[in-house]
Every structure is written in structure tokens, then in C-alpha cells.
Chain A
Amino acid sequence: AQKVTQAQTEISVVEKEDVTLDCVYETRDTTYYLFWYKQPPSGELVFLIRRNSFDEQNEISGRYSWNFQKSTSSFNFTITASQVVDSAVYFCALSEALRGAQKLVFGQGTRLTINP
């Protein structure tokens, strides 16, 4: 069965600090996708990134970066020089592909608070 674990329930840092959100997953599939979503206080779910299981290259997008390591089944997310607007709940998710649909299994979420 697919499983995603985000062991950090809450993280609180001061603005401009770097912060890493951990994500560990379990799957028996050889092909899978991993995702990160952001849920700001306003409540919507915002797609951040998708990474497939064959591509272990790290990705950087502005202050955001992702480190995918198949050897440790981890897909960690780092925010550099954090800002108050980064305060949100962040979800890591693993996909299970079905015919014509995609079943996302979410982690429990990490609530990130950036203090001014």
C-alpha cells in the first residue's frame, strides 16, 4: 500500500531562515510521481511541483528547491530565505495511476509558520 509520512507536524522559524520540510514515502510501484502542494491560511490547495520516479535531479524554483532521493524514499522541500507569505500547511503526495485517473495519497501535512 502507498504511504506518505511527513514527520514534522509543525515548524516555526524566523523570517529569512532556511527551512526543510521532510517527506518519506512507501510504494511498491517502480513508476510513480511525487507532488508538493501548499495550503495557505485562505484554504485553497496550490500545486507546487511534480517529480517522476525516474528523474532524481534536484529542482530549484526561485527560493524553493526539492531533493528527491530514491535510495532513502524521500522527497524533501527546502525554502531558502523564508518569508512570512510562506506560512502555510504543506502537503507531500504520492500518486497511484489508474486507468484515466490518478489516486493521490497525501501525507499528514506540515504546518509552517514564518515569524517576522
Chain B
Amino acid sequence: DTAVSQTPKYLVTQMGNDKSIKCEQNLGHDTMYWYKQDSKKFLKIMFSYNNKELIINETVPNRFSPKSPDKAHLNLHINSLELGDSAVYFCASSQGQGGFLDTQYFGPGTRLTVL
């Protein structure tokens, strides 16, 4: 059983399109995250939700909008895709009970390519 799953694994699309990436966790965790890994492998947090409440919202273009329908799901919607959005996007989850006490478990990643 996959603990943190993401769909799709690969996403190739044209500039200007709108796309979504879905994430689901079956660990019973309260907190979920989105990270972006660029072509140089640098990982940076984008968003975090705790029980459907937005906790972390880093400096990300407002074309990116996270949506958490319930605590087991955190989707990422991207409007008007740009070439610079090409990256691997990772979803992660953690218990969310104490910040420091958490360990984040990551999904397999979604490789987004914008042409």
C-alpha cells in the first residue's frame, strides 16, 4: 500500500494551459505539503495544510493554488503554465501534532514539463 501517492507521475503540457496534480495519503496524518524540486535538484517548500487549514504559504506565484478537500488529500492547481514551472513536484505528509516532532514522508513526485 502506497503511503503518499501522487497522480499523474508525468505531466507534459503546453504553455498557458491549466493543470492539476493530485495527492493522497493513507497514513492518517493531519498535515500535508507541496514542494518544488528544480532542475538543479533544489527542494523548496511551497505550501502546507493542517486539517484543511493553510499553514505555510511561501512566496509562490498566485497561479499556484493548493486545495485540500479533506485532510487526506492536497491537490495543486496551476493556472497559465509557464516554462519556468517545469520541475518535479513532491507531496509530503506528517502527523502535524507538534511541528518539531514531525517527520515528513514524501510521495513519488510528479515531473511537470511545460513546452
Contacts and interface: CB of A to CB of B under 8 A. Distances in A.
A108 interface: yes
A47 B100 contact: no
A104 B44 CA distance: 8
B68 interface: no
B57 to A, nearest CB: 11
Interface string B85-110: 00010101010111110111111110
A64 interface: no
Contacts, number: 82
A108 B31 contact: no
Given A39-B41, A52-B100, A100-B97, 19 more contacts: A35-B103, A37-B106, A43-B88, A43-B111, A50-B103, A95-B100, A95-B102, A98-B55, A98-B99, A99-B55, A101-B31, A101-B55, A102-B94, A102-B99, A103-B56, A104-B45, A106-B43, A109-B43, A111-B41
Interface of B: 30-31, 33, 40-45, 48, 50-51, 53, 55-56, 88, 90, 92, 94, 96-100, 102-109, 111
Interface of A: 31-33, 35, 37, 39, 43-47, 50, 52, 89, 91, 95, 97-104, 106, 108-109, 111
